[in-house]
Amino acid sequence: MNKALLTLSIMILSGSLLAQESPITPRAERIQISEGPEVPLVGGYLTVIRWTVNNPGGLPVHYGVVHYGTDPKNLSQTAKNPIRLNPYHSSTVFRVNLYNLAPKTTFYYTVKSMDSRGKSDGVTSLMKTFTTQ
Amino acid sequence: MREKRLIAVMIVCAGVAAALLFSTRPISAQNHEHEKGEPPFPLYNPYPPGILPANLESEIARVLREIDVIEERAIQRWHSLPLPTRLATRPGPNPPVLKDTGTESIETLGELMLFDKNISPGRNQACTSCHMPYAAWSGPIPSVNLTIIAYPGTVHFRAGKRTAQRHTYAPFFPVLQYNQEQGLFFGGNFWDSRATGYRLRDPDAEQAQGPPVDTQEMGFPDTACVAFRLSQAVYKPLFEVLWGKNSLDIKFPQNTEEICETPGGAAVFGGDPEPIKLTPEERTEANTVYDHWGASIDAYEQSTQVSTFTSKFDAMLKGNYTFTPDEQAGYNLFNGKGNCNSCHVDGRGTTLKPGQTDTSTTATANPPVFTCFGSANEGLPLNPRDAFYYQTTPDSFGFIGNPFGFGYRDLGMGTFLRSGFGSGPNPNRTWIQFAPMVDGQFQVATTRNVAMTPPQCPTTEAGTGKPYFQKEFFHNGYIKSLKQLVHFYNTRDTSFAKNVTSGHCPEGTIERVTCWPMKEVPNNLDTTTGMLGLTDTEENQIVAFLETLSDGFTSPYPNSDTFTGACMTCNPATDPNCSPSRQGNGELIPTPPLPPCASAICGVAPVPSPPIP
């Protein structure tokens, strides 16, 4: 039995599921971005940045955080959105919404994530870029 | 000396109040009118034409008749109940438990209270005016659910601002707590968790203390009016069995009936929350009665009369029902691609590999209630149909429901933590600092019974060929069908997201189908869902699964047979909105240009960050 499964079964037996509050999720051994970041939507109004982390684990709510800007040396803007981890999923999709970006402009960005108490998940992406329409 | 002066002032105030009462309203004449079946209060209608549903008055009357039927059944139940055994001598030092039928007695008392329309100034509204069993104890009037979404109170037509939540499983929410380790809130009742349970240690019991004195609901001007009306109730003897022989013998002043006949918020009270002048001892007694009111109602709502665990899903857990392929696929999506059980926790291990077995015996021992008891902002658009926005002028009592009009924004839990406008006082000052983190958040509702309808209208969805019962979904009722609800979760943050308010979707798009107006509160938007990539079929399968969560499958749901209104029907050949996707689109209205968020809401420290437009 691997460690994650063990934790899961201990959780179940210890009744944290009985109370049905969000259970604490087992943490992957090496946390890493397994997909993305990518930009599935570049819109005049809404732009979406998305990436997948194998499993940050821990507290039920995590925040995806995007630092972005038009100057690669100064990512002056920050956007973040909370997500709830799924205790039964082996990976977690983070998604951050950016609104009303200037048109026909190239943006640079990096992504990271943290838990609801602000503790970093310890993964940061390389800088990436996209251009609005 | 000081005390004496205070008393003198009080007497003068009471005198003025009484004089005003008598001078502004001919009270006896009003009683007389009421007996003839006419509305007890002058009509309040600040609504532009087309906002109120045409059949509102007759539908309210219809629900009151249904309420009387159930109250009569509850009276029968009470009369057929053997008195609990009160042991003359207690073996050992035991608490005073009412043996044998104590449980049934308190539950029946709660039921009698819930269906008692005398618990309102106009004797024209019970709790269940807004919560009927056949709609799983949510809003019973299809035309209200389709339009103004908020239910009128004792004064027609003052109305609240949010959808009436289901009673089922509400008592399972724990006392509101801030979990230090997780930095998150859990528990409480109401969409914004303002019924915290801090004092009675039971959010559901404290919840029941809200509506009787909510100006837009049952609307008593003083909590002691509940004790006063209970002292006149037919079921007073049952109350005394439970809560003590003389527990309702409070010496109420002469003018108590007049006061309790006058809706809360009336200018005559000058903002006095306790216009009934009781001695401190009697005030304490009245408060105790009010606590017992809450406890009795909670007992009923938690009982197997209400929270029954009798759905297809429960039967499936016990091995007595096999999901259809669509229901099973929907369940898998709910736990998988849809990610719904991140919040609507189903209490089971779900991503089992072939050969693994689910060892979580919890499922049958303690069936899941499909909520994590937390809160989240799902980013609903502002619903301009909501009756609240229009109550900007005083009614005949001088009361104004919403002086801010469309400057009102519903920040949910954030406004509660700030003890702000339209919520309740926050009893824990250490929580205030967290307000900006929970702006826009509402309670993760249980998904159980979201699909429950009266038996003769077997679905919530239009255009399926079956008669349907129009419900309203989410805290502001913007969503009108379960198909739309799942589609919203699926596509909210896709190219369908538009920089418009409701009623202004661009040419070539269809609101709620290919256009989602901007979020009322963008702060703290949860992105667990919003871009799920579900196909149309997969959306429908999740709807099919949600429909397995309605109680009444393994045994009939109590009092679900009482709906006497009309089911809805529509013809897809002639009505373009006769489909689950477009249901209710005929009733969309353009949102007026929105004034900025009122400073009484968005300007209260610690202010929302970033600021809310």
Cis peptide preceding B610, ω within 30 of 0? yes
Q: Where do the domains of chain A lie, and which CATH numbers do they carry?
A: 22-131 (2.60.40.10)
pLDDT at A129: 97
Torsion of CA B15, B20, B23, B26, to 10 degrees: -100
Cα B438 from Cα B184, distance rounded (Å): 9
Which pLDDT value is given to residue B487? 98
- Contact flag A43-B362 (C-beta cutoff 8 Å): no
pLDDT at residue B20 in the model: 38
**Cβ neighbour number for residue B371 with a 10 Å cutoff:** 23
B405, B425 contact by CB (below 8 A): no
Look up residue B210 and give its DSSP letter: S
CA A36 to chain B, closest CA, distance in angstroms equals 15
- Give me the phi and psi of B238, to 5 degrees please: -70, -40
When CB atoms are compared, the residue of A17, A97, A100 closest to B527 is: A97
CB contact under 8 A, B495 and A64: no
Q: Which residues of A touch B368 (CB under 8 A)?
A: 20
Of A8, A20, A60, the CB nearest to B184: A60
Tens-digit pLDDT profile for residues B364-391? 456 899 999 999 999 999 999 999 999 9
- pLDDT computed for residue B195 by the predictor: 98
State the Cα–Cα distance between residues B396 and B393, nearest whole angstrom. Answer: 10
CA distance B131 to chain A (A): 26
Per-residue pLDDT tens over the stretch B8-49: 333 333 333 433 333 333 333 344 444 445 678 999 999 999
Enumerate residue ranges in chain B where pLDDT < 70. 1-38, 89-91, 93, 348-366
Q: Enter the DSSP assignment of B433.
A: G
d(CA B10, CA B22): 18
The widest CA-to-CA distance across chain B, in whole angstroms, is 83
Using an 8 Å CB-CB cutoff, list chain A residues near B376: 82, 84
Alpha-carbon distances of A25 from A14, A86, B87, B360, rounded to whole Å: 14, 8, 50, 16
Ramachandran quadrant class, B355 (left: phi over 0; alpha: psi -120 to 50; beta: rest): left
Nearest to A59 among B182, B525, B530 (CB): B182
Q: How far apart are CA B137 and CA B153, in angstroms?
A: 17
Kindly list the residues of chain A whose beta carbon comes within 8 Å of any beta carbon in chain B: 8-9, 12, 15, 17-23, 40-41, 43-46, 48, 50, 59-61, 64, 81-90, 94-97, 99-100, 115-118
Round to the nearest angstrom and report the end-to-end CA distance of chain B: 52
Q: Any idea which residue has 């009505």 for tokens?
A: B575
Q: Give me the pLDDT at residue A8, please.
A: 37
A40 phi and psi, to 5 degrees?
A: -70, -15
Say how far apart CA B73 and CA B517 lie, in whole Å. 46
Q: What pLDDT, on a 0 to 100 scale, did the predictor assign at position A30?
A: 80
Residue B351 with chain A: CB contacts under 8 Å: 88-90
The angle at the Cα of B533, spanning B437 to B527, to the nearest 5 degrees, equals 5
Whole-number pLDDT of residue B38:
66
**Nearest alpha carbon to residue B243 among B226, B259, B255, B257:** B226
Q: Which residues of B touch A20 (CB under 8 A)?
A: 345, 347, 368-369, 371-373
Q: Taking a C-beta distance cutoff of 8 angstroms, is the pair A75, A84 a contact?
A: no
Residue B481 near residue B570, CB atoms below 8 Å: no
Q: Which domains does chain B have, with CATH numbers?
A: 53-302 (1.10.760.10)
Q: Can you list the positions of beta strands (E) in B343-490? A: 375-376, 442-443
- Hey, what are B564's tokens? 């006497």
pLDDT at A22: 63
Under 8 Å between Cβ of B241 and B83 = yes
Looking at the DSSP bridge assignments, the partners of residue A130 are A107
> What pLDDT was estimated at residue A55?
81
Q: Would the pLDDT of A114 be above 80?
A: yes
Q: State the smallest CA–CA distance between residue A93 and chain B in angstroms.
A: 8
Q: Which of A21, A44, A82 is nearest residue B186 as measured by Cβ atoms?
A: A21
pLDDT digits (tens, 9 = 90+) for A7-53: 333 333 333 333 445 666 777 778 899 999 999 999 899 999 999 99
CA B226 – CA A109 distance, rounded (Å): 60
CA B193 to chain centre: 11
